[in-house]
Amino acid sequence: MTGILGYARVSTGDQDVAGQTLRLTQAGAIKVFTDVRSGRSLDRPGLTDLFAYARKGDTLAVVRLDRLGRSLAELLSTVAKLKELGIGFVSLEEKIDTTSAAGELVFHVFGAIAHFERRLISERTKDGIAAARVRGKRPGRQPLDPDKAAAAIKLVEAGLSPSAAARQLGLGRSTVYREVRRTGAMSAVT
């Protein structure tokens, strides 16, 4: 037997899933899975349980798209996973239903927009790097000044901690630790 499975999510314990649960039940959900997690968290036990429970022919329903994922890429990925499993998707607020041809078209349009957005970001990044090079800038991590690296090693060998040496020379702490390991001055640290 196939049915509608609801998914409700709130970000904090101060919020309540009752309103979402009520709307999903009214829309025909036979079971509602819930999470009290930030949308940033990919660890969502309720959604994991829903995927384990769902069967081919079922439909996942949410009140709004943002309850299922924070980004368009995340939404597209989840809906693609649902499609692979033979599970439909419905968003009540946006009136999207991927079990219909029109709903599937809307998600394909979303996918095209996400791809376009990624390409624009990539092109802007490349343009920015090229413009920086024209101005004589070198994008990326700047090479370590060998004199500063040698001074850091001498300070560490003299008994100063790598963190203190880094502060004194205006270097990153991890840079000094990396140089200490690279040169074998680690015995002075231990």
Give the residue numbers annotated as catalytic, written as ranges. 11
Q: Which residue has the tokens 């996400």?
A: 114
Q: What is the Cα–Cα distance from 22 to 175, expressed in whole angstroms? A: 55
What are the distances in angstroms from CA 71 to CA 35, 109, 130? 17, 15, 29
- Among 115, 108, 104, 20, residue whose Cα is nearest residue 68: 20
Q: Which residue has the tokens 């599970």?
A: 87
